[in-house]
Amino acid sequence: MYASRVRVLGIDFGGKRIGLALSDATGTLASPWKAVEGGAPLAAADRMKPVVAELAASDDGLEAIVVGLPRRLDGSDNDQTPLVRAFAAELARVSSLPVILQDERLTSLEADSRLALGERDWRKRKAKLDATAAAIILQDYLDGKEQTEYRTQNTEGER
């Protein structure tokens, strides 16, 4: 019997806006939630503290936080990478939850493409872009975690 799961928070960190997404209580499906004010990494993490505390105290709880890690296409760090690492480290400190860094290459482009299917006006899409990118980052994490858990369970059964 598996322990009941709780939600995971996905974050797309940005200097202007931070996109947020939440998984369902089973940790299977990520959905865009909202965007909040961005800013400098330490101040932004401090502003996220009450949001995280409220989610953790809710009935569905909060298991972990997944933060998108920006990288160049070749996998090397870009100018934003150190800022996101600082944000994630501070968020882990103020929240006492595990903070996982997840590769976010091309997620904003994918988010805009998805949103463009339903909305042609880029100004209207822009308002939803950060939360949608956060949902893509979180879904990538959830899908990878599920595959790892399945492989682990499968391997244990074969012994």
Copy the structure tokens of residue 51.
């949001």
Q: For the ranges 2-6, 44-48, 57-61, 75-79, which has the lowest average pLDDT?
A: 2-6
2 pLDDT band (50/70/90 cuts)?
A: very low
Mean pLDDT of the chain: 83
Q: Is 2 left (phi over 0), alpha (psi -120 to 50) or beta?
A: beta
pTM assigned to the model: 0.81
Is residue 148's pLDDT more than 50? no
Distance CA 10, CA 91 (A): 12
Reported as a single tens digit per residue, the pLDDT across 94-128 is: 999 999 999 887 666 666 566 666 666 666 656 66
Q: For the ranges 2-6, 10-14, 117-121, which has the lowest average pLDDT?
A: 2-6
| Structure confidence at residue 125 (pLDDT) | 58
| Structure confidence at residue 60 (pLDDT) | 92
Q: Are strands 99-103 and 62-69 parallel, antiparallel or unpaired?
A: parallel
Q: What is the DSSP letter of 71?
A: B
Answer yes or no: are the C-beta atoms of 18 and 38 closer than 8 Å. yes
Measuring CA to CA, how many Å separate 82 from each of 35, 109, 135, 136? 21, 21, 22, 21
| Structure confidence at residue 157 (pLDDT) | 52
Share of the chain above pLDDT 90, in %: 57
